[in-house]
Structure 1
Amino acid sequence: MGLGAALLIAALLLTTYTKGKIAKIPLNVDATLVSDGKGTAFDPASLTGDRFVVNQNVPLVMQQQISVESPANADVVTLQVGDTLRRSDQQKDKGLLLAMVDTVTLNRKTAEAVSSESNPGGAVQKPRAIGDQNPPTNIALPHEGLTYRFPFETEKKTYQVFDPIAQKAYDANYSGEEDVNGLTAYKFTQNVGFDNDGKLVEPVKYASLYDDDADSQVTARAALWGLPGDPEAPITMTRYYAAQRTFWVDPVSGTIVKESDRGYHYYARDALKPEMTFVDYTVTTNQQSVESQVAAAFDERDRVALWGRILPITFTALGLITLIGGALLGSFSLRAESLLVDPGLDDTGSQFFGGRDDEGQPVPGAEAKTEKLPAQRPTDLPPDRPV
């Protein structure tokens, strides 16, 4: 009975306490995710030409490398994410369009960004020139809301998801469920500078990571921009950014199993009137990366299910069986002990422990009925001796 009670208590603790300790972002996250698609992109080779050239329908590849850095402990995990977007029709650095290394510290249970005095909760790596051998330096960038993960037990609601390019969190609205490789995923959509129809409404001024804002404002001759008038007139344009994203999220573990990104970087003198496209792309997680993320989500589901459902159910069943078995065994042992101590307590009518009178009551041994044996006539006496 003690063992049964212990198993029931263990089942209760696994359901309430242990599951909360298990349902956390793992500390061994290490993934390389690849998305591909097509878009419109600036041709870097045209920087030395007579006019900037923008190519249509070019193949594009986005790669995201996720790893764990310090601090990482029982409560928080720090993710370092390197993002690159490149033209796959050009080799090496010639095709590189975008690059960013983002670091964020997350609460392992809620996936919310956290900050402390010793840790700003986020940073982006300062860009380095090609061939620069100096160690990379970080620029503090406190994050808000969710980044790269959703919380365990994701709900059907709106979440704030941080955009490291815009350096701000935006709404990610729940928009339904879809099957992704056998996993029922929650679908969330996010607009940054676009409305739901994909129209520019509030684009973001691009936040340069260079000290001289070299990539957020560009001054070039009107001829290079392709503008009419004096070809030598200097024209300064500002870089703007807008994006639309769709996340497919495993609701149990919060793992993003698939993602579709539309990003729009352009130069203009008026934010709502694009004049020169730097890159306008739409990419979606490829099949291999989707399979990898779905497998990771199922692993997390199995781990949570083991501690939160399978073991509690098993312990509860074993506890009840053991408790009932202990109770039955205890009742039998009490009965046997009572028979040994006071045989009269046995009401089965058994005659093993003394006799009973005509009314079924036990009688003392001295008064118990005995069987009379018939006397035998001796046969060795002389025949003339009287018996």
Structure 2
Amino acid sequence: MNRAVMLRIAACGIMGLGAALLIAAVLLWTYTTSKITKIPLDIDTTLISDGSGTALDPASLSSDHFVVDKNVPLVSQQQITVESPANADVVTLQVGTSVRRTDKQKDTGLLLAMVDTVTLNRKTAMAVSDETHPGGAVQKPRTVGDENPPTNIALPHEGLDYRFPFHTQKKTYPYFDPIAQKAFDANYEGEDDVNGLTTYRFSQNVGYDADGKLVDPVKYPSLYAHDEDGKVTASAAMWGIGGDDPDEKITMTRYYAAQRTFWVDPVSGTIVKEEVHANHYFARDPLKPEVAVADYKVTTNEDTVESQVNAARDERDRLALWSRVLPITFTAAGLVALIGGVLLGSFSLRTEAALLSPGLDGTDYGLYRGPSEEPVPGAEAQTEKLPELHHDVPPDQGPRKRSPPSPSRPHPGAPSSGPPQPGPPTPS
């Protein structure tokens, strides 16, 4: 195998590598990127929000009247984990949410508690509900002393839940509220910087208008079988309502309204910060709250914000690696390999042509011949010059070589043999 063939094989290999790199870059741009923009299956996080508000003292439920305290410190906690079913298409999130007073110990400060389960499409972050994927469920509340296993109540979800889709757009999304048990619009409002991360800000109003005025509160959908916490009848004295008859029985209905603001990473859809104003209250007129259960405002604390920002950055880095860094690198390397292969192939062709062309040298192999010359006729060809013989060479220096006799016939009259006859001397 000569050098030209080896160069041609190397050129083909390099061009093949370049084509493979370009194909890989195209696949990363189109196919792979769409496969990795999905909600992770390893979510296990705790989100904590701090704030204050007006809240009912749980201990007063067994006293002679309800006690409502103002400006009490509150903390809201969400524990998010992944449950089954979770596969390439869907992920099921189980979210335990609680709101408690930090000035009370253990269960005496617990105001709200809920366990919500929802199955989401991993790509769109929308709730899915079909025969194979339950739309969602909530855990039936238990009393403090109830030790029976928790049971779920089917609750079909719709819209987004606990996160936004990848590549979030500047538009309105339906966002599900598990307390109201329905979806409400989350409207895009603008961009904000959160710990160095550019985020989209969305706002949602449940029962409030854009100015924070109570306009259409939701009747609290009780999770108990007999609506024990949705509608309560107690004496006027128990409600703290003055009147002529303190023993008069008064029935009040529980209502719910909320305002939420989300700061969302537009690339990964992660909610990095959230502010919630929720109002649970009893009233006879829905627009006139009378006894507060919990009217509070909480905001994600700094540690949780930093954790969520880091999680969003990790998702951004992962997407950037597969959607930008690797495709650009493969494209550049592929183009360089193709160009290098073409150049090497061209050089191999020139080398092969040089090896096959005659007259590049004076050998019989035809290698590296010079310019071709016209053939020289035999009559004009140079012959070897013989040394000149001198007449004064002494006869004793050796026998003199004679040329073989000529085959031509002797001239008539010439002697056939014998020594030459002496003739007259020849003038010098």
In the alignment, which of 249, 257, 263 is matched to residue 248 of structure 1?
263
What is the aligned-residue identity percentage? 69
| Rg larger in structure | 2
Partner of 1:266: 281
In the alignment, which of 385, 389, 403 is matched to residue 375 of structure 1?
385
**Equivalent residue of 2:225, what SS?**
coil
In the alignment, which of 152, 155, 172 is matched to residue 141 of structure 1?
155
Partner of 2:34: 20
- Is residue 222–residue 229 contact of structure 1 (8 Å, CA) maintained in 2? no
Query: Is 1:322 aligned to 2:341, yes or no?
Result: no
In the alignment, which of 89, 99, 109 is matched to residue 123 of structure 2?
109
Partner of 1:205: 219
Partner of 2:346: 331
Aligned positions of 1:1-387 closer than 5 A: 1-227=15-241, 228-343=243-358, 353-356=368-371, 362-363=372-373, 375=385, 377=387, 383-384=393-394
Distance 1:334 1:84, change over 3 A: same
Distance 1:341 1:218, change over 3 A: same
**Equivalent residue of 2:322, what SS?**
helix
TM-score, normalisation: structure 2 = 0.84
- Is residue 354–residue 363 contact of structure 1 (8 Å, CA) maintained in 2? no
Q: Which runs of 5+ in 2 are unaligned?
A: 1-14, 361-365, 402-428
Q: Which runs of 5+ in 1 are unaligned?
A: 346-350, 357-361
**Equivalent residue of 1:279, what SS?**
strand
Paired AA for residue 187 in structure 2:
N
Paired AA for residue 174 in structure 1:
Y
Aligned counterparts of 1:381 and 1:300: Cα–Cα separation in 2:
110
Distance 1:343 1:267, change over 3 A: farther
**Equivalent residue of 1:310, what SS?**
helix
Aligned counterparts of 2:27 and 2:359: Cα–Cα separation in 1:
47
Distance 1:259 1:378, change over 3 A: farther
- Is residue 58–residue 87 contact of structure 1 (8 Å, CA) maintained in 2? yes
Distance 1:342 1:145, change over 3 A: same
- Is residue 354–residue 365 contact of structure 1 (8 Å, CA) maintained in 2? no
Across the two proteins, how many residue pairs are aligned to each other? 377
For residues 168-217 of structure 1, what are the alpha-carbon distances to aligned partners after superposition, in whole Å with 9 as ceiling and x for unaligned?
10010111111111100000000000001111110000000011111101
Distance 1:9 1:343, change over 3 A: farther
Distance 1:221 1:380, change over 3 A: farther
Partner of 1:348: none
The CA deviation at 1:342 is 2.6
Aligned counterparts of 1:372 and 1:30: Cα–Cα separation in 2:
100
TM-score, normalisation: structure 1 = 0.92
For residues 49-105 of structure 1, what are the alpha-carbon distances to aligned partners after superposition, in whole Å with 9 as ceiling and x for unaligned?
232111010000000000000000001000000000000000000000000000000
Aligned counterparts of 1:367 and 1:133: Cα–Cα separation in 2:
122
Aligned counterparts of 1:364 and 1:54: Cα–Cα separation in 2:
121
- Is residue 359–residue 367 contact of structure 2 (8 Å, CA) maintained in 1? no
Distance 1:371 1:127, change over 3 A: farther
Aligned counterparts of 2:123 and 2:354: Cα–Cα separation in 1:
60
Deviates more, 1:291-300 or 1:119-128: 119-128
Distance 1:136 1:343, change over 3 A: farther
Distance 1:380 1:336, change over 3 A: farther
Paired AA for residue 225 in structure 2:
D
